[in-house]
Amino acid sequence: MPPIPNAVVTENGVTVLTRADIEKGRQVWQSIGGPQLGSIWGHGSYVAPDWTADWLHREVTTRLEMESLLKIGVPYSALGVEQQASLATRLQPQLRTNTRS
């Protein structure tokens, strides 16, 4: 499970939502049978798709495709193994940065 921030705040300092809001949303989701439709963070993934894993996969493949087109001018799938590995290695630290408050 990823860390849950105490608050989500805009750059101007406006609180968008709090940890309590996140927890209440989780409780509502669970109370209406949400995990039977799909899971987040792997909860219930035995009975429904894990949307977190799906989203992370889509985000990574989209970002690799965009970087390949911007920097090299060809689709990621058309690159050689070394070029693909180079782009993936450069992307990794960006995905692992946690900016929670």
- Tokens representing residue 25 in the block: 């949303």
Mean pLDDT lowest for which of 1-10, 14-23, 35-44? 35-44
* pLDDT confidence bin for 12, thresholds 50/70/90: very high
Q: What is the DSSP letter of 98?
A: -
pTM: 0.57
Strands (E), 1-101: 7-9, 15-18
Q: Is the pLDDT of residue 17 over 90?
A: yes
* Distance from C-alpha of 64 to C-alpha of 59, rounded to nearest angstrom: 9
